[in-house]
């Protein structure tokens, strides 16, 4: 396949090359079990909106005069997810980001601005970009061991804070770790960091936050549990055709945004120019679902995850799942099956993640392949 961009340009057949990849993506969806993305999406009704630039500059409430955006939709997405995350929407700052990593960077940066000398504490099971965030912000990284269930070891966290007593603490707590779907105990984290003094608690809820909020066993992870800022994914459980996320923060920690004179607009975001179509996609998905529909989706995914546990156990693969997670880990099968079913693997373990596009029929086909 020749994809070279030439000096003279090419002809009308170029779109066919893109469509071939689109067809392959649809073929892969039938066997896509191992990664936390929702492939059960259909936004083709948005096709006619692609004849103009959609761009948001600065905060979603800044009244930028040269608007090519969808700010009211973004504000409603932020308000809805603030309520889901246990916050008062009238006192919560937020915006739609490029994804969980930007959301985490914003939250940790907020903590660094509040506590400029504080180390960054996080679980060794946290997303790999958290350590990168520490380097970007020139913070002392303090990885803390995780327990067998993937949650942070709060005793080790307390010991780390004791050895740095009084310096403050910026902490990333994870709701849904990458490998085990582990969930850090916010109550335990808050007790553990007391020796550090002042703290900023950022919660990376990109993978597991929405699942945990609507699970039967509901671990507390939001603002009502002590969070200062929260990251939520858009393309995971909710499902969008492009990566995106949302960051939320207590309004008092963000403060008064800087006014950019040439824009006549306020901006506390990291990115300045942002994708304005992503908020509309998120709003459309959430508007159709509503909170009850989102809860029903979570329950279906959890049921599918438990079904996978039962089938994998019967096949002898010793599966395990956190009760408030859709991640199922099990003994790693042969490599050709990992490739065929797009399984994420770490050491001797493989993952199956029961996202909305994963069905019981897919699980049955997968287990039949294992045998």
> pTM for the full model?
0.96
Tokens of 302: 């959890």
**In whole angstroms, how large is the CA radius of gyration of the chain?**
22
pLDDT of residue 208: 98
> Which strand (E) or helix (H) includes residue 307?
helix 277-314
Average pLDDT along the chain? 95
In the chain, which residues fall in CATH 3.40.640.10?
A: 49-287
Tell me what percent of the residues of the chain surpass a pLDDT of 90: 86
Question: Is residue 344 classed as helix, strand or coil in its secondary structure?
Answer: strand
The answer on pLDDT for 172 being more than 70 is yes
Q: Residue-wise over 11-31: b if at least 16 C-beta within 10 A, else e?
A: eeeeeeeeeeeeeeeeeeeeb
Q: Residue-wise over 56-94: b if at least 16 C-beta within 10 A, else e?
A: bbbbbbbebeeeebbbebbbbbbbbbbebbbbebeebbb
| Cα within 13 Å of Cα(9), Cβ side | 2
In the chain, which residues fall in CATH 3.90.1150.10?
A: 25-40+290-370
- 49-287 carries CATH number 3.40.640.10: yes
The answer on pLDDT for 280 being more than 90 is yes
Tell which residue, 223, 235, 4, has the closest CA to residue 100: 235
| 236-267 pLDDT, tens digit each | 999 999 999 999 999 999 987 777 877 777 88
| 100-133 pLDDT, tens digit each | 999 999 999 999 999 999 999 999 999 999 999 9
pLDDT of residue 115: 98
| Cα within 13 Å of Cα(35), Cβ side | 11
Cα 57 from Cα 263, distance rounded (Å): 8
Q: List the catalytic residues.
A: 325
pLDDT of residue 262: 77
| 48-106 pLDDT, tens digit each | 999 999 998 888 887 655 667 789 999 999 999 999 999 999 999 999 999 999 999 99
pLDDT of residue 12: 73
- 25-40+290-370 carries CATH number 3.90.1150.10: yes
């Amino acid at each position: 396949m020749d994809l070279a961009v030439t000096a003279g340009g090419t002809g009308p057949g170029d779109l066919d090359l893109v469509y071939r990849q689109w067809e392959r993506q649809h073929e892969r969806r039938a066997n896509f079990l191992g990664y936390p993305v929702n492939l059960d999406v259909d936004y083709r009704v948005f096709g006619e909106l692609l004849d103009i630039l959609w761009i948001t500059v600065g905060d979603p409430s800044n009244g930028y005069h040269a608007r090519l955006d969808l700010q009211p939709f973004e504000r409603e997405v932020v308000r809805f997810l603030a309520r889901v995350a246990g916050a008062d929407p009238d006192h919560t700052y937020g915006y739609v980001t490029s994804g969980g990593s930007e959301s985490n960077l914003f939250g940790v940066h907020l903590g660094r601005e509040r506590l400029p000398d504080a180390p960054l504490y996080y679980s060794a099971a946290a997303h790999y970009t958290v350590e990168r965030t520490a380097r970007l912000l020139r913070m002392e990284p303090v990885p803390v061991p995780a327990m067998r269930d993937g949650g942070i070891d709060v005793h080790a966290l307390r010991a780390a804070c004791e050895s740095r007593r009084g310096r403050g603490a910026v902490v990333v707590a994870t709701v849904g770790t990458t490998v085990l779907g582990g969930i850090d105990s916010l109550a335990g984290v808050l007790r553990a960091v007391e020796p550090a003094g002042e703290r900023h608690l950022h919660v990376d809820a990109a993978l597991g936050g929405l699942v945990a909020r609507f699970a039967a066993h509901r671990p507390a992870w939001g603002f009502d549990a002590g969070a200062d800022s929260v990251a939520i994914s858009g393309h995971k459980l909710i499902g969008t055709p492009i990566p995106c996320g949302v960051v939320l923060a207590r309004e008092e920690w963000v403060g008064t945004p800087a006014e950019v004179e040439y824009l006549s607009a306020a901006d506390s975001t990291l990115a300045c120019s942002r994708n304005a179509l992503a908020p509309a996609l998120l709003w459309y998905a959430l508007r159709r679902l509503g909170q009850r529909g989102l809860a029903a989706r979570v329950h279906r995914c959890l049921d599918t995850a438990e079904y996978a546990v039962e089938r994998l156990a019967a096949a002898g693969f010793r599966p395990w799942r956190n009760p408030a997670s859709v991640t199922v880990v099990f003994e790693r099968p042969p490599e050709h099956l990992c490739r065929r079913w797009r399984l994420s693997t770490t050491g001797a373990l493989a993952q199956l993640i029961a996202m909305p596009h994963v069905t019981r029929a897919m699980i049955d086909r997968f287990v039949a392949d294992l045998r």
